[in-house]
Amino acid sequence: MMTKTLTSSAQDKVLRRRLGHTDLLLSPLGLGCWQFSNGNGLVGKFWPVLAPEAMTRIVETSLQGGINWFDTAEVYGGGQSELLLARTLKQLGSEEAERAYIATKWWPVFRTASSIPATIDERLRLLDNRTIHLHQVHQPYSFSSVASEMKEMAKLVQAGKIRHVGVSNFSAKNMREADRILREHGLRLASNQVKYNLLDRSIERNGILDAAKELGVSIIAYSPLEQGLLSGKYHRNPELVKAMSGPRKWTSGFRATGLRKTLPLIEALEQLGAKYDASPTQIALNWLIHGNGDTVFAIPGASKPHHASENVQAMRFALTAAELRSLSELSERARV
């Protein structure tokens, strides 16, 4: 399948959806920017250092293809992702780049809620004083309660430092508590960023997805392709697994037994791909953003420009209800 060339007019063809109870109208896909960590820090070393030219092309391709928001975090390279994202948007200087929405995250581990206001000016500085449209608590683990964190976030909204409040990796119980506290300040919880894809649907079983729908909170799905497993390339060429570096190659999904178990799902993605002139990756992303109405957004990353081009093509069509159900049934049998 050849990836189509996109033009700036594609921006106008992507339908927007509202993020939770906010006034933000976002594309169903955003660009996850962990890979812009510049090789810094323990978390940032997960990705190779990207050349500035590649980063520029990734961001530009995303914008031209209709993506209008970017998700970064304090812990991604110790702020390098925020810095390089803002620098790239400024260098592009296009109308799309200037209007782009920014989501970032506060790192809570070994910290108290008092570091939320203590670190926000650094977030703004690294982001070149762009508006932080969504500020998220990155993990549920800190030395402070959910209530304390939400109270500090609410103060930032009231001070005009951020626009909206989100969380990441929160349980259904903690989501409800976060929303309850924010309501006391005239606000609502906007989103919960969690792992979700065709091979990891745990949020459907642990109450997170149900709570999101009940509260009107958006789900932002990270790892939407299960670390590339849903691309099908490892099923078609298992030698690629042997060439992989890092711990990913030892996980159950990339073992021979795991590849055999998920092959029927990959074949279904390929068959639908033939119908829609799309790749298995694009079909998997389309299932995410259409399988639960407008509740779920997704943030695939892109370490190469052609990855960004493939991402945006996933927003050009919509699977039918029957196709969504069929993939859901197959994915339940494919769990590894």
What is the rounded CA–CA span in Å between residue 132 and residue 86?
11
Number of domains comprising the chain: 1
Dihedral of CA atoms 288, 60, 12, 216 in degrees, nearest 10, equals: 40
In a domain, 322, yes or no: yes
In a domain, 2, yes or no: no
What is the rounded CA–CA span in Å between residue 36 and residue 44?
8
pLDDT category at 241 given cuts 50, 70, 90 is confident
Global pTM exceeds 0.75:
yes
In a domain, 184, yes or no: yes
Which tens digits make up the pLDDT trace of 194-216? 999 999 999 999 999 999 999 99
- Please say if the pLDDT value at position 249 is more than 80: no
Expressed as residue numbers, the domain containing 205 is 8-333
In a domain, 1, yes or no: no
Burial of 333 (0-12, 13-18, 19+ CB in 10 A): exposed
Q: Where residue 226 sits, what CATH number does that domain have?
A: 3.20.20.100
In a domain, 3, yes or no: no
Strands (DSSP E) contained in the chain are: 17-18, 25-26, 31-32, 69-71, 101-106, 132-137, 162-168, 189-195, 218-222, 291-294, 296-298
- Please say if the pLDDT value at position 226 is more than 60: yes
Q: Catalytic amino acids?
A: 76
- Please say if the pLDDT value at position 4 is more than 50: no
